[in-house]
Amino acid sequence: MPNSISKVLIGVGGGIAAYKVCELVSSLFKTGVEVRVILTNSAQAFITPLTLATLSRHQAYTDDMFWQPTHSRPLHIELGEWADLLVIAPLTANTLAKLTYGMADNLLTNTVLASTCPVLLAPAMNTDMWEQLAVQRNWQQLLTDSRYHGMSTASGLLACDRVGAGRMAEPPEILTYIQSLLHTGGKRDLAGKRVLISAGGTREYLDPVRFIGNPSTGKMGLALAQAALHRGANVTLVHGPASWNVPLGVQAIPVVNAEEMQQVMGEYFTSADIIVMSAAVADVKPRDYSTEKLPKRSLPQSLPLESVPDIVSQLAKLKQPHQQLIGFAAQSGDIITPALEKLQHKKLDAIVANPIDKTDSGFGSDNNQAVFLDKQGRHREIPPCSKLQMAHHLFDFVSNGKN
């Protein structure tokens, strides 16, 4: 992420989802981002300028200020030049149509045309409105402009009591996309690429309630999927048991044990361009499985074990020259030596060595730190940062290391 303070301009359209923008503005401010807000006239029927001014710690802008300028320079020019990123949430069918055809009849649309920064769009509308041929045509046409980054709509119960597509993405998901765009500047260096990611821990069951596992939550793999998606990739995420929500736009395939993960990864491997094995796959499993819960008195005093498939080694044998296979090595103590051994022995293109014995890092944490190593001998140390930042640093590293 940039060292300087990032500046995000949020345009609020006229829809019931406008109330969600309060959480987004508050969250952005808490992360140290400078936030400014423009409300359309319709948006003010759902939320007040005072509310957003209070949350952003700055005056909110309305059309009244645009048509009665008090600045030395036109307001839309100043705001367009100020912003590092422009977010429109909720994006209504009306504003979508205006943007598609380059119309500028209010402060928000004039500011969009007076800016050159990336624009993140979070549409929200009734299902029938969203699915109209004209709306979908406008949406697809607008996204052909590289400035615009579109978030998928979610399905569910809408304010009109209709159940279907058209729900605006939730504020945490919009916040994550904003953080990605502030890191990349809007570049889509993974556009057209298929990225296959494994995430989380596997569980090897002794009976229906007991298993051999590990503390992995899959948060690193989730961050990798988000980062790849935001950089334009087609993303497939194969994950063990997890408590988080799958990002809109990511194909997610849940699995439980190593054998299931091996099967799914094998199915999708051939068509993938970049494969990231961030999952914490079990090394062994109980030799015997009971279909019924074993009474405590029947538990074996010593547990016979057998090996599970070494997924990354098997994938490495199938790897084609155009593919990049990246592994993870979670270690305590010396993290470099075992990571280098794994990189070479398993014929990986790159590996992430990350410590599990550091504060606020590794399993279960929202943050991480690591050393990246690749087969060309490159070495890059990543200090403590969020797992989303770590994911972007990894894709930067991999992209820069391609021959």
Catalytic residue annotation: 160
Give which of 238, 266, 236, 222 is closest to 386, Cα–Cα: 222
Task: Tell me how far apart the alpha carbons of residues 262 and 106 are, in angstroms, rounded to a whole number.
Answer: 54
Beta bridge partners of 123: 91
Annotated binding residue 346: yes
Measured CA to CA, the distance from residue 299 to residue 211 in angstroms comes to: 13
Residues forming a β-bridge with 87:
10, 120
CA distances from 109 to 12, 80, 112, 148, 226 (A): 11, 10, 5, 14, 28
Q: Is 47 exposed, middle or buried (0-12, 13-18, 19+ CB in 10 A)?
A: buried
One-character DSSP codes across 246-272: PPTT-EEEE--SHHHHHHHHHHHHTT-
**Cα radius of gyration rounded to whole Å, the chain:** 24
| β-bridge partners, 18 | none
Residue 310, marked binder: yes
Do the annotations mark residue 293 as ligand-binding?
Answer: yes
Rounded to the nearest 5 degrees, what angle is found at the Cα of 59, between the Cα atoms of 57 and 61? 135
Is 309 annotated as contributing to ligand binding? yes
163 CB contacts (<8 Å, ≥6 apart)? 127, 155, 156, 157
Calpha distance 316→240 (Å, rounded): 21
Residue list for the binding site for CTP: 283, 293, 309-312, 328, 342, 346
Residue list for the binding site: 283, 293, 309-312, 328, 342, 346
